[in-house]
Amino acid sequence: MATAPLVLLVALAGSLKSYPLLILFGFFLGVAGTVFTAGIPFSAAWYPKARQGFATGIFGMGMGGTALSAFLTPRLVTSLGYWPTHIVIAVLLLVMAAIVFFFMRESPTWTPVTSGSFGKLINASKMPVTWQLCFLYGVVFGGFVSFSTYLPTYLRDIYSFDLTAAGTRTAGFALAAVIARPIGGIIADRVGPKPVVLVSLAGVAVLAFLVNMQPPPEIPTGLTFLAMAAALGFGTGGVFAWVGTQAPAGTVGAVTGVVSAAGGLGGYFPPLVMGATYNAEQHSYAIGLLLLAATAVVALVLAALMGRRSVEAKAEQART
């Protein structure tokens, strides 16, 4: 409900052609992200730990809204107009709020927290695993957000697509990531989240290098970006399955909040880096893409090391 009027204020900023107002209202538009923070523990509470990768993966398919936005928004603006498009979005938000209010309910296992919420957040921030998962999620979900945001610009600069054509292809990218996310969660339930995240990060590193090679359109480029989307979606499902197994009881919501924020932050910086490092003369984003590959390698090493200390501690405890 709080997001609906903010959508209209963003539209107002656009009508006034005021970039400062757009930044101001866009900042508060981030309140919509609280849905994700609340939704992960909400959906996970309905399932046992062995199926929480599946539950959070299905819930995470909601990021498909990015695909719908990339595909529909340019077309709605063309057919309906600028203001009517924003009004439609605001109305849809209010309709969704009504659906949640009247038809959704908490898990029978849920109990309200009457005190200590801020303390739980502080405790979550003190756990090393929280920051490790923050970095991993910042890479995979941040990569998804940044590609979904910047891909139309990239396709315009590198392959000379117009806005509608680039938006359509961006929608396909987002859809592939959406489908891959629950698959990553389901596989994490079966084999563990660590192998899923490792495969995802290895794929991101290799594919970022391949994107840097600027494969020719349409099929080679399309397959490369679809594979990148699948790797990123696979990883987001794996990381949040990892949250369910690594976060101590009673801290899942707090850890989710911190990790989710890291994902949003991870999607904030890459477009800035891509824009700052773009070589207009050579039509190249090589520096930004190679930095992504390097970051994925660092995350891969971190993920490989995670959990090793706890396993060694358990083995030592068993011996003694």
Residue 269 tokens read as 């910086």
Q: Report the Cα 160 to chain-centroid distance in Å.
A: 27
Is residue 300 within 8 A of residue 198, CB to CB? The reply is yes
pLDDT at 32: 85
Residue 134 tokens read as 């923050």
pLDDT at 250: 67
pLDDT at 315: 45
pLDDT at 191: 92
The per-residue pLDDT string of the chain (320 residues; one tens digit each, 9 = 90 and over) reads 999 999 999 999 999 999 999 999 988 988 887 787 788 778 878 888 778 788 888 888 887 787 777 678 888 998 999 999 999 999 999 999 999 999 999 988 877 766 556 677 777 778 888 899 999 999 998 888 888 888 888 998 899 888 778 888 888 898 899 899 899 989 998 999 999 999 999 999 999 999 999 999 888 999 999 999 999 999 998 998 888 777 776 677 778 778 878 887 888 788 888 888 888 888 888 999 999 999 999 999 999 998 764 444 344 444 54
pLDDT at 114: 63
Residues whose CB is less than 8 angstroms from the CB of residue 253 and which lie 6 or more positions away in sequence, other chains included = 37, 38, 40, 41, 120
- Which domains, ranges and CATH numbers included, belong to the chain? 3-105+116-319 (1.20.1250.20)
Residues whose CB is less than 8 angstroms from the CB of residue 269 and which lie 6 or more positions away in sequence, other chains included = 142, 146
Distance CA 277, CA 259 (A): 28
Per-residue exposure over 276-305, b if at least 16 CB sit within 10 Å of its own CB, e if not: eebeeeeebbbebbeebbebbbebbebbee
315 residue type, one letter: A
Of 283, 263, 261, 265, the residue nearest 274 (C-alpha):
283
Distance CA 143, CA 149 (A): 10
Q: What is the pTM of this model?
A: 0.78
